[in-house]
A and B are shown apart, each in its own frame.
Chain A
Amino acid sequence: MNTINLDYISANPLLPEVQDAMIEAIKKNHGNPSSPHQLGEQATEVLEQAREKAARLINCASPQELVFTSSGTESINHAIKGIALAKAGKGKHIITSNIEHNAVLKSLRRLMKMDYRVTSVSVNEYGLVNPDDIAKAVTDETILVTIMHGNNEIGTIQPIKEIARITRKKDILFHSDAVASVGVMPVDVQDLGVDLLSLSSNQFNGPSGVGGLYIRRGVSPLPLIDGGAQEDGRRAGTENLIGIIGMGVAADIAFRERESRVEHARKLKERLIRGLKESIEDIIINGHPEFSLPNLVSVSIRYIEGESIVLMLDEKNIAVSTRSACASGALRASHVLLSIGREYADAQGTLVISFGRDTKESEIDRFLEVLREAVEFLRNMSPLYKKAKVI
């Protein structure tokens, strides 16, 4: 029996077209794009074709505004640390939110050890940042605002355009972590008004191990990796050409399907939320009901713990993700769920269900059926459930 993958946020399957292009690239033995001979020039051509495709997906003004990296995480590190180091002369204050990805959080924690100051604004019960809070947090020392686009745990989409208006007026750089949204829904860097934006190839069915960083023309973060003159001197190291080729093909397909993907995902999401509400009592759907990633649902199932639900589903060949502390290496509940006001026990029982272009309605239905059984089984042995149900 095939596994039903409802954990796209952890790993997207590679599209067949992407696989074919990468296999072909492996067999072709491309040269090094930095070499001046024919092999090198051919490699450069392939590299720049991929850049054009990836840049078009986020509507860069020029393909040169897109730098290839090894991952969304590297892009985020590059944007935050690179701007912090480049702008240290102007100031050492950075503004972020309480629900950012660890790549952002830990980059900022690192900078704090180097005397940078960070203000983290809180979010409301839906996980939304209030742009006014950002405006209020700005000081003369502020050099960067970093706010994510779509949240990878609860799906909430932040008001990036509104925040960009503030940062532009105050002449502060603005980075957005759009790893969870690029390729899932249309993301237009010019329309959003950001100065830097991080993305990852795997979130739109490309290979992992490749990411991109949009750097608006005229913005110059300090490079994290020094060496050769690759990527116009912004990111040294011989390019991961096979991965980049795969990313280019995936970006091209994501661009062409940008509207149908959203429509497909929205339908599945509605079906899933309706099904959850109808079949299981005492649940909380997390995130904003409207401003949200179309391909992700976060649900807190009260009185039971997430890892045990994931194991029960896995027995029936269904893969989902949990934000339970018990399933994370860190053994603690998610800071995102705590930030939107979830109780500890409810955070422990939170599943993240994410899907993609090839997910079928029947797979959502099967998931709901198996989940219902698992919840009944686990609640039957839960002291919290028994306590709640005794009058």
Chain B
Amino acid sequence: MYSEVVMDHFKNPRNVGEMKDADGVGEVGNPVCGDMMNIYIKVKDDRIEDIKFLTFGCGAAIAVSSMLTEMAKGKTIEDARKITNKSVAEALEGLPKNKLHCSNLGADALQLAIKDYEDKKAGKVKAPPKVEDKHEHTKGDACRCPYCDTDLGEAMEFCSNCGKDLGKEIFK
């Protein structure tokens, strides 16, 4: 199913871990659709001096995170901006088609980490962490691909915000 490069990065993931004193943090994904990625960067002289990741997800998601950190490490911010989800997938010698949807979010997380770093540098106050607010549970579609807007299957009876099951009697 996976290429040898993917399996190598899955089995021997590079740059795993949390960074307490990160200059920028990027978080993407949610467990409803399957994957979550956190990217932490340390920047010195406009260069990504160190990078770490934490990922909840399938083999592809872990390999994507690992590959992304290798690609970004040592790059200038300007060059790191050019890393895309597509280029990460290419460096992994391809991902199975269905994994291109949910798991290939690494570059998005990196771009958010860079933005977080720049916001901090510009003196912008980071928005407080999202509070688990009481929201209306609304029935949503199953996961939609963020890139090609493909609907990944029939609508499910769960809340599109938090994943809570609403389908007590699914046929009614």
Contacts and interface: CB of A to CB of B under 8 A. Distances in A.
Interface of A: 96, 98, 108, 112, 118-122, 303-305, 307-308, 311, 315, 324-327, 329-332, 335, 338-339, 341, 343-345, 348, 380-386
Contacts, number: 115
A304 B142 CA distance: 21
A120 B172 contact: yes
B172 A386 contact: no
Give 4 nearest A-B pairs by CB, closest first: A344-B163, A345-B31, A326-B58, A307-B58
Interface of B: 7, 10-11, 13, 16-18, 27, 31-38, 53-62, 98-99, 101-103, 142-143, 152-153, 156, 158, 163, 165, 167-172
Contacts of B54: 381-383, 386
18 contacts: A98-B167, A119-B169, A305-B34, A307-B58, A308-B61, A311-B10, A324-B34, A324-B58, A325-B34, A326-B99, A331-B143, A332-B143, A338-B165, A344-B158, A348-B56, A380-B16, A381-B54, A386-B18
A155 B99 CA distance: 29
Contacts of B17: 381
Contacts of B31: 343-345, 348, 384
A311 B167 contact: no
A384 B163 contact: no
Nearest to A137: B169
Nearest to A306: B58
B13 A381 contact: yes
Contact of A119 (B38, B102, B165, B171): B171
A307 B102 CA distance: 13
Given A308-B58, A311-B10, A315-B11, A122 B152 contact: no
B147 to A, nearest CB: 14
Contacts of A348: 31, 34, 56
Given A305-B56, A308-B58, A331 B170 contact: no
Contacts of A121: 169
Contact of A98 (B101, B153, B169): B169
B142 A308 contact: no
A50 to B, nearest CB: 37
Residue with the highest number of chain B CB atoms closer than 10 Å, among A96, A112, A308: A308
B56 A331 contact: no
B170 A308 contact: no
